[in-house]
Structure 1
Amino acid sequence: MKTMISVEQQAIAAKKAAKTLSLLSENEKNEALNTLADHIEKNVKRILEANEADLHKGREKGFDEAYMDRLALSESRVLELAKGLREVSRLDDPTGDILSEWTLENGLHVQQVRVPLGVIGMIYEARPNVTADAAGLALKSGNAIVLKGGSSSINSNRAIVEVLHEALRETKIPAEAVQFIDSTDRAAAQQLFTMKEHIDVLIPRGGAKLISAVVSNATVPVLETGTGNCHLYIDKEADLDKALKIIVNAKTDRPAVCNAAETLIIHEDWLKENSSAIAEMFAAHSITVHGDEKAAENLPDVIPANEQDWSDEYLSLDIAIKVVSSLDEALEHIERYGTKHSEAIITENKDTAHQFMAIADAAALYHNASTRFTDGSALGFGAEIGISTQKLHARGPMGLPALTTVKYLMHGTGQTR
């Protein structure tokens, strides 16, 4: 019961701080974000020591390589947190933007204005970088935030929030605007699901089980992020050099992230012509192939693929290969197994590319480019708070505008109806 009361008190404090935030200027928020960045840069050693405690526990529990990569910080990754905050400070503040305005026949002037959501509840796993990224985006967009990270990164998250609080005390933003639930008790997260009177929106970020639990149990509105079972379709008219370059990047750059490629769909004609080159590429990068019968006929050392290979994220140097005879067959496979995150086509035929991008249902679609660009910083949004795979309010990498809603402001001279 103590934890439950504490969480509610934190949410109430965040709601109060959000009112103060809504009155601050863009310059005041930008100065605060740069102060946060300064403090993170000064406390790299402190944050890394806390992270090492989490990594030690992770090794003891036998976490796999992909999970440990998401959990791990390094000096460069900590400095990236500061860099991300500075990038957000340089972005335009969406709050206060007049999206449209008009005057009615009776003289009543109407404005549709972008405003903060209010209080964001953020529930996430493993990645301690989310703590700083989410806080920065929330504050810049005028929102308070309640952070509930996973138990595996509790020490890292605690240290980062302590640094953020120390920095905020030097700014005009109340430290209470960033709340951290310093508990590994699942009941604390469960309470966030139902505190509709204090929390305006929940954003889950993590694995499929976490996201499903939040979506299924929350009474607070959910801004749903999704897992990334991303596909690359190699069309019969694909350029070999482009295809190999994109496959290597999409699969090997960071295999444990949601925008990495998990399934390679290859047109049978292209595979027959280029089987030796693609086999050499797989061997050179130690990529393990799980494929269908046609893949096994054309490539060495193929592990027979099962239903799980088509549907799950590997988050490792494994890839599934589906061989098809047409674009329609490729699109059918994506429709069945895709998670509406990111899909790509490699082809020199513009008509085929257009058809793929018109029909494939995903937040991000690519022609002759890697799926690794589905990322807020890569697309110029600064740090992102997550990648939405739903179709309401926000879709794709969610930057500052996704953390706002609208108000209608009416200015009159005594009009009545």
Structure 2
Amino acid sequence: MISDANRQTPSTEEAVRACAIRAKQSCAALERAADTDIDAALRGMAERLPVARHALVSANEEDLAAAVSAGMSPALQDRLRLTGPRLEAMAAELRTLADVAHEPRNKVLEERSDGLTLLERRRPVGVIGANFEARPNVTLDIASQFLKSRNAGVLRTGSAALRSSRAVVEQVIAPALREAGLDPDAIQLVPSENRSAAYALVSLPELIPLVILRGSGESTRDLGREAARHGVRTLAHADGGGVLYVDSAADDKAVHQLIADSLDRLGVCNRLNLLLIDQSVYDERLPGILQVLNRLGITASLPPHTHPRGYEWSLDPKRAATAQFIDAYTGSGVFWNSTTRLLDGFKLLRLPEIGINIDRVPGPRGPVSFRDLHLRQYMVVPSERLTS
């Protein structure tokens, strides 16, 4: 059920629809755009980040001040914050994405004996929506992935990051698109702070047939249900948190290092959430692990637990136990002696990500990148047309 606070109002619905219409009008030209123009726009964004640094940081400081006043937790403040090193990392990711070869639009599947050839074509979705957490860098991550896949986008972020995200769009994304000869309307940011805009975003199947849902908890799952009611498809990322399994034969030094590496940032979805210790060594290993957590300023929640336990990834340092676990585990990613933070687009695939999809159905799983944002279309043509 949608609460009264989240119900669409005429103003928010009209604002989202207006964004969707502007994005839709750019789709045809974006699909025809040359690879070089797309990549030029991405490089232009990277070049503009240091130029726009003062405006971006200034807007971000306003967001942070409001967040502190509202009592936002330090972990969430950390993921909201824009710093010089983070802006540099954002620029580096854009340049990396620009250097990645574009996927072929047409792939020959079969040359038939009847003189026809079967091809598989990759077509953009058109306009894709995205509702995501209050992290201004994600605005750029998602926009760049949409553009690389030739999809226009309507973005809606948490109200805490709206000033920062608006500055990213106005100072970085739109000018870079314009300079590359692309329509700056291809990327739209919903201007409303009202959460009801998220529900409007998932209710326009004729304009926005696919919406990326990032965040956590019941609110994101509720958006998924609302989208289904309207016939809008979603790629949902509602739950996060990595899992680390400590086998009886695990090396203490490696365990402690993996725990620290998996908790280097607390406001991200692939941080360590659930630590499993083999029962036979639980009493022996727990004190050392608690010391590591104490040094990191983290208070462990010890069994018996009254809260739901997360899941996604797991680690395993012993070969026999590894094989058994990997064969049994069907989550989005499974790693051996590796930090949970690796289940991230840039850390794992060397690509920025749209989100991490953990659905147990066919389709993209794990980090979702631009390569997953297309429609498959079969095309049959006379073989002679391919050589003429």
- TM-score, with length taken from structure 2: 0.90
2:351 pairs with 1:377: no
For residue 112 of structure 2, what is the aligned residue in structure 1?
Answer: 104
For residue 185 of structure 1, what is the amino acid of its counterpart?
N
What does residue range 35-184 of structure 1 map to in structure 2 within 5 Å? 35-94=44-103, 96-98=105-107, 100-163=108-171, 164-184=173-193
1:363 matched to which residue of 2?
A: 332
Contact map agreement 2:16 2:197 (CA 8 A) in 1: yes
**Counterpart pick for 1:235 among 234, 247, 258:** 247
Q: Which letter maps to 1:365? A: V
Partner of 2:291: 280
In structure 1, C-alpha distance between the alignment counterparts of 2:203 and 2:194, rounded to whole Å: 16
Corresponding residue for residue 39 of structure 2? 30
Displacement after TM superposition at 1:2 (Å): 4.0
Q: Is the 8 A contact 1:95 1:115 kept in 2?
A: no
Classify 1:184/1:63 alpha carbon distance in 2 versus 1 (closer, same or farther; 3 Å). same
Contact 2:209 2:233 in 1 (8 A): yes
The counterpart of 1:389, out of the listed 358, 363, 370, is: 358
- What SS does the corresponding residue of 1:307 show, helix, strand or coil? coil
The reply on whether 1:408 has 2:378 as its aligned counterpart is yes
Deviation at 1:276, TM superposition (A): 4.7
Amino acid at match of 1:142: R
Question: Is contact 1:228–1:342 with CA below 8 Å preserved after alignment?
Answer: no
Shift of 1:126: 0.9
Shift of 1:279: 4.0
Following TM superposition, by how much is the alpha carbon of 1:240 offset from its aligned partner in structure 2, in angstroms? 1.9
Question: Counterpart of 2:98 in structure 1: which amino acid?
Answer: S
The reply on whether 1:306 has 2:317 as its aligned counterpart is no
Query: Equivalents in 2 of 1:229, 1:380: separation in Å?
Result: 19
Q: Is the 8 A contact 2:27 2:152 kept in 1?
A: yes
**Structure 2 counterpart of 1:207, which letter?**
S
Query: Residue by residue, what CA displacement relative to the aligned partner does 1:64-106 show, whole Å, maximum 9, x if unpaired?
Result: 11111121111221222222211110112125152x5113342
Tell me the CA shift for residue 281 of structure 1: 2.6
Paired position in structure 1 for 2:267: 256
Instruction: State the alpha-carbon separation in 1 of the partners of residues 349 and 383 from structure 2.
Output: 43
The 3-state SS of whatever aligns with 1:8 is helix
Equivalent-residue separation in structure 2 for 1:167 and 1:224 (angstroms): 29
Q: Aligned with 1:286: secondary structure?
A: coil
Separation in structure 2 between the aligned mates of residue 64 and residue 274 of structure 1, nearest angstrom: 30
TM-score by length of 1: 0.84
SS at 1:269 equivalent: helix
Deviation of the 1:207 alpha carbon: 1.9
Q: Determine if the alignment matches structure 1 residue 344 to structure 2 residue 315.
A: yes
3-state DSSP of counterpart to 2:179? coil
Q: Which residue is equivalent to 1:222?
A: 234
**Aligned sequence identity (%):** 30
- Evaluate the alpha carbon distance shift between residue 60 and residue 243 of structure 1 in structure 2; reply closer, same or farther with a 3 A threshold: same
Residues 126 and 237 from structure 1, CA distance in 2 versus in 1: closer, same or farther, beyond 3 angstroms?
Answer: same
Describe the superposition over 1:132-186 as per-residue Cα deviations: whole angstroms up to 9, x where unpaired.
1111111011111101111111111111110111222211221011111111133
Find the aligned partners of 2:152 and 2:292 in 1 and give their Cα distance.
47
SS of the residue corresponding to residue 55 of structure 2 reads helix
Which of 255, 258, 265 is residue 246 of structure 1 equivalent to? 258
Question: Which moved further from structure 2: 229-238 or 151-160?
Answer: 229-238
Aligned with 2:26: secondary structure?
helix
1:43/1:213 Cα in 2 relative to 1: closer, same or farther (>3 Å)? same
Distance in 2 between the 1:191 and 1:357 partners? Answer: 41
Q: How does 1:329-340 map to 2 (within 5 A)?
A: 337-339=309-311
CA RMSD of aligned residues (A): 1.9
1:62 partner SS: coil
Instruction: Give the drift of 1:35.
Output: 0.9
Alpha-carbon offset, residue 283 of structure 1: 3.5
Residues 95, 142 of structure 1: 8 Å contact kept: no
Matched, 1:291 2:291: no
SS at match of 1:290: coil
The Cα offsets for residues 105-135 of structure 1, whole Å up to 9 and x where unpaired, read as 4222110122222211011121111111111
Q: Please give the secondary structure, in 2, of the residue aligned with 1:87.
A: helix
Which stretches of structure 1, 4 residues or more, deviate above 4 A after TM superposition? none
Deviates more, 1:274-283 or 1:210-219: 274-283
1:70 partner letter = R
3-state SS of paired residue (2:237) = coil
| Structure 1 residue aligned with 2:5 | none
Contact 2:55/2:167 (8 A) holds in 1: yes
Contact 2:15-2:192 within 8 A present in 1 as well: no
Structure 2 runs not aligned, ≥5 long:
1-9
Q: Distance in 2 between matches of 1:162 and 1:117?
A: 24
Q: Indicate how the Cα distance of structure 1 residues 241 and 401 shifts in structure 2: closer, same or farther if over 3 A, else same.
A: same
- How many residue pairs are counted as aligned between the two chains? 370
